[in-house]
Structure 1
Amino acid sequence: MTDAALQQSPTIVPFGVNRTLLWGMTSLERLRRIAAAQGLSMADHSPGPCLRVDLGYAFDPQWLRWAAAHPGQAVTRGGIPVIAHVRKEDPGLEALSRIAQETSEIENVALRKRERPFIERLTPETVPAIERASYAGAYKGVTDILTKYLWPEWAYHLTRLAARWRLTPNMVTGISAIFCLIATLAFFRGFYWIGLATGLFMMILDTVDGKLARCTITSSKWGNIFDHGMDLVHPPFWWWGWGVGLYYYGRPLPEDVFLWCMAAILGGYVIQRLIEGAFITLFGIHIHVWRRFDSWFRLITARRNPNMPILLAFLMIGRPDWGLEAVAIWTILSLLVHVVQLVQALMVRARGGEVRSWLG
């Protein structure tokens, strides 16, 4: 961002009228939420620098952030200026340099990669396509195999329903917490099929609440704490509950084996999380976006979602005890991979190299 832009942030000046609803919001309301999330003000006019935004279009919030950092430029769709950063000295839109959305890529700062966010004319006919585009844009660049391949479509339709019913992301997280508790209790009593079913629905809702927050621009500090806090805390209780439930199921592990499994799973889970945090602190990126292999391994590394298919597979042959042992072994192997990743990154830095995302 230029010095002038830093000294005075542009004011958003919307123009046009559009009553078509996107994720339950008008174009103007959606713009207000995006502006608030990015710390920008809105007004009917501005004597200073401003971002003129055409309400006839819907766009990824990244474009507003990009335009705010590029005075004297206009982002176009089909040759029509959609977002224009007009400086005080600019005589009008005609004097601005133009960047075409159809052929341009910008950096996604959060994911540290370049991409082409959407801009589309907002009409009742284009709403389904735009909602799919904004939903796809809300997905993480790197995630686990279930979230990436199994339930994006399920979560998409549930996210649309939640928006239509005006549920907030925190409401969805609250419902998710109820299913999480039911799954935990079921595991402790050996009701594994009930636990897996409710756990599956909880995991889908865990995707829905984040996507709903991003699509409806309603992320909040408390919501992030609630969601991520629950994600961090509950998995160890599931694995412990699975182990205790083996007694009720009729396949209890010997005490020493049970304790070994718990130590491996719980200890490995905590240490993996610490390594991931250390990697971010040391290198400024997630460990899973460093190299192509690291992103691939994120699909299957020992986290809640990849562990659940392992438990399911062994439950299907009537050996949930073997499932717990398999999760323990996989956790130790995943931990070793994380240790090697961290050591390799430290060696790259020690040799004067740069650790940066392969997605960039």
Structure 2
Amino acid sequence: MSQLLSTSLGPVRLIGENATPIWGMPNAERNRRMAESAAKNGRRLANGHELLFNLTYAFDPLLLTLALEAPGTLFTWGEAPIVGQVAQGADPLRAPHIIDLSDGRRLYNRQLRKLEQPMVRELTPASRREIERRSYFGAYKGVTDLLTKYLWPELALVLTRIAAQLRMTPNMVSVIGVSLCLLATFLFAKGLYWTGFLSGFIFMVLDTVDGKLARCTITSSKWGNVIDHGVDLVHPPFWWYFWGTGLAYWGLQLPGTTFAFVMTAVVAGYVLQRLIEGMFLKDFKMDIHVWRRFDSQFRLITARRNPNMVILFVALLFGRPDIGLVALAWWTIISLIVHAVRLAQAYGQARSGRPIVSWMDEAEGQA
């Protein structure tokens, strides 16, 4: 059985039937959303081609991205077609580029900065929760900080499932998170660090949930991305500043010159590190943290919000939030130096005629 849909992307053919829902929606609706989302991102089908989805299976959205990049490509699992951009009306298994994923091959996901075997599973009532789990973890960036990678994925999975069941949109989650972010800023300014930490912790978890909810339910939006990434980019220096002013309530305020040094280090260091990352992305068309394995490992602890909060948390356990802020400043300086050195090394390598290639691209080529 097959059904032909008209979408903004172009003709979409659904083959098979499946009544098992995934993330609170029929598989056909999820596939339709993926097609519409691709169209919003400027994708189009090649002339004379249609997009094919097999409703029997759930799969990693990366496969759709790759199929849209190469007309005539069909991903299969053994003899079963999964997803592909194939000639209209033709037998999909006669597509010129058939890639059988049952051989366990790994593919590099540039958007999420990871190299892994993409998920392909038959969607049944028995496999639904495991598929949702795998699609959730599949939406995680492979290169990120240690808290996002190791501490709260399971908690965020529970919250993502609850949000999906409640039919919450990612923007709803973002609004709750932003409110908690502002509350944490106020509490830090008043020296209420533990309460501020609780508010900030929930915000940081929700900062993961909104993105995962958007990817799993295919409900991302332009303004949602602007709000999410805009808040992520802007708020950390305000947290560190008001953490510093809140020290007065503990009788631990820093001397004027020390406070000025700390604020200069954390703000200028943060901005300069972001600029270095932007320069690397602009000149080498990749994130600096996926160049070499060292860069990916250093991303776990580099001076971003989450690792910095670990520093402040440890200092707070010992009753010295002032020392925590000074340590945060020095860690920001060290992280800035590391990034500056790596950028200089990349430019030097490029000038010598050697290409700048991600270690993940190299690993994919060797697979």
> Structure 2 length normalisation: TM-score?
0.89
| DSSP-derived class of the 2:13 partner | strand
Contact kept, 8 Å, 2:114 with 2:141, in 1: the verdict is no
Measured against aligned partners, the alpha-carbon deviations of 1:144-190 in whole angstroms (never above 9, x if no partner) come to 01101111111111111111111111111100011101110010000
The aligned residue for residue 310 of structure 2 is 309
Distance (Å, rounded) in 2 between the aligned partners of 1:72 and 1:339:
43
Residue 59 of structure 1: CA displacement?
A: 1.1
Contact kept, 8 Å, 2:113 with 2:142, in 1: the verdict is no
The aligned residue for residue 292 of structure 1 is 293
The aligned residue for residue 216 of structure 1 is 217
The aligned residue for residue 51 of structure 2 is 51
Distance (Å, rounded) in 2 between the aligned partners of 1:84 and 1:244:
56
Moved more, 52-61 or 120-129: 52-61
Residue 88 of structure 1: CA displacement?
A: 4.6
Contact kept, 8 Å, 2:114 with 2:143, in 1: the verdict is no
Give the partner amino acid of 2:232.
D
Give the partner amino acid of 1:18.
N
Give the partner amino acid of 1:77.
W
The aligned residue for residue 249 of structure 1 is 250
Mapping of 1:123-134 within 5 angstroms?
123-134=124-135
Mapping of 1:229-240 within 5 angstroms?
229-240=230-241
Listed as ranges, the gaps of 5+ residues in structure 1 are 1-8, 41-46
Contact kept, 8 Å, 1:10 with 1:68, in 2: the verdict is no
| Closer/same/farther in 2, CA of residues 107 and 338 from structure 1, 3 Å limit | closer
Distance (Å, rounded) in 1 between the aligned partners of 2:287 and 2:67:
27
Contact kept, 8 Å, 1:73 with 1:99, in 2: the verdict is yes
Listed as ranges, the gaps of 5+ residues in structure 2 are 1-8, 41-46, 362-367
| Closer/same/farther in 2, CA of residues 276 and 316 from structure 1, 3 Å limit | same
| DSSP-derived class of the 1:359 partner | helix
Residue 83 of structure 1: CA displacement?
A: 2.6
Distance (Å, rounded) in 2 between the aligned partners of 1:328 and 1:71:
50
Residue 109 of structure 1: CA displacement?
A: 3.8
Residue 246 of structure 1: CA displacement?
A: 0.4
* 1:23 lines up with 2:23 in the alignment: yes
Give the partner amino acid of 1:55.
L
Give the partner amino acid of 1:161.
I
| Closer/same/farther in 2, CA of residues 106 and 306 from structure 1, 3 Å limit | closer
* 1:13 lines up with 2:28 in the alignment: no
Distance (Å, rounded) in 1 between the aligned partners of 2:252 and 2:68:
61
| DSSP-derived class of the 1:139 partner | coil
Give the partner amino acid of 2:236.
P
Distance (Å, rounded) in 1 between the aligned partners of 2:132 and 2:181:
28
| Closer/same/farther in 2, CA of residues 50 and 164 from structure 1, 3 Å limit | same
Give the partner amino acid of 2:124.
T
Distance (Å, rounded) in 1 between the aligned partners of 2:37 and 2:344:
37
The aligned residue for residue 123 of structure 2 is 122
RMSD across aligned C-alpha pairs, in angstroms?
1.9
Measured against aligned partners, the alpha-carbon deviations of 1:322-346 in whole angstroms (never above 9, x if no partner) come to 1111111111111111111111111
| Closer/same/farther in 2, CA of residues 321 and 126 from structure 1, 3 Å limit | same
Share of identical aligned residues, percent?
A: 53
Residue 113 of structure 1: CA displacement?
A: 5.7
The aligned residue for residue 184 of structure 2 is 183
Moved more, 193-202 or 31-40: 31-40
Contact kept, 8 Å, 1:22 with 1:127, in 2: the verdict is yes
Contact kept, 8 Å, 2:73 with 2:95, in 1: the verdict is yes
> Structure 1 length normalisation: TM-score?
0.91
* 1:39 lines up with 2:48 in the alignment: no
The aligned residue for residue 4 of structure 1 is none
